Amino acid sequence: MALFSGSVFSHALGLDTQIGVIFPDIPYDIESRWKKPALLTLLHGLTDNATGWARLTQAEYFAKVYNFVIVMPEVQRSQYCDMVYGGKYFTYVSEELPELAGAIFNLPTGKENTFIAGLSMGGYGSLKVALSSPERYGGVASFSGGVDTKNLVRMMLDPENERAAPGDIMAIFGTQDVDQIENTVFALARQVAARPDRPRLLQTCGTEDFLYDDNRRLKETLQQAGYGHTYLEWSGGHEWPFWNRSLELAMQFFRGEDVAAPAK
């Protein structure tokens, strides 16, 4: 295995930004040894950075088992948005990063070999990126995603909530008026559901997660739109053990395997 951790210059952000890349060596699966690895962009959550997935999960081991190159970008607390008062992080992740990583590391290309996933804020980001450009991604996965933007904004504006961060909301959206903020993922899901090139979609959430109700609403929206996605839930909170298991399931899912929630 090889793990690269360093910084690259982003023109979209106008600064150097951290990036991590995991390269698998010879996969354990003999049949996979003669295949090129697939590319998985793995997005971090609100309080994490580009190192979280590598430090706190078995991402490196899973990359070897399932033959994935994993790219882990840094987006601060941007909600994967082009911020009104801050960096253009959506542009960076959705447009610049694939070209940048491909040019530097000679990574796999083609929709059938390109996937994106993330946890919490990164779950929202992965869905936003993939559903905005469905022709680029073979699959997308959201783990405990902060998918309901309006509800998340209400939470972050509530002074009694431990996750309150009104400054973040103003910097990202330029307003603290919830009615002026779009539920982007819900809207994109409805738009993309009928497209034949829509990416395969996996959604997981723990039944004790504070974002559980939001994820159930997205599940119902996707079902009503006829998207045909896979939703899995099991006992768990907003925590790394849950996301570690979700990551392995996502890699299996992206490889075309049937997946199910872990047994109790």
pLDDT at 153: 94
pLDDT at 240: 98
**Cα dist from 22 to 5, 39, 59, 194, 209, whole Å:** 9, 10, 8, 34, 29
How far is the C-alpha of 214 from the C-alpha of 34, rounded, in Å? 41
CATH 3.40.50.2000: does it fit domain 2-148+183-254? no
Phi and psi of 57, rounded to 5°? -135, 180
pLDDT at 1: 74
Domain ranges of the chain: 2-148+183-254
pLDDT at 28: 58
Q: Give per-10-residue mean pLDDT for the chain (264 aa).
A: 90 97 74 73 97 97 93 97 97 95 84 96 98 97 97 94 93 94 95 96 98 98 97 98 98 96 84
How far is the C-alpha of 40 from the C-alpha of 174, rounded, in Å? 31
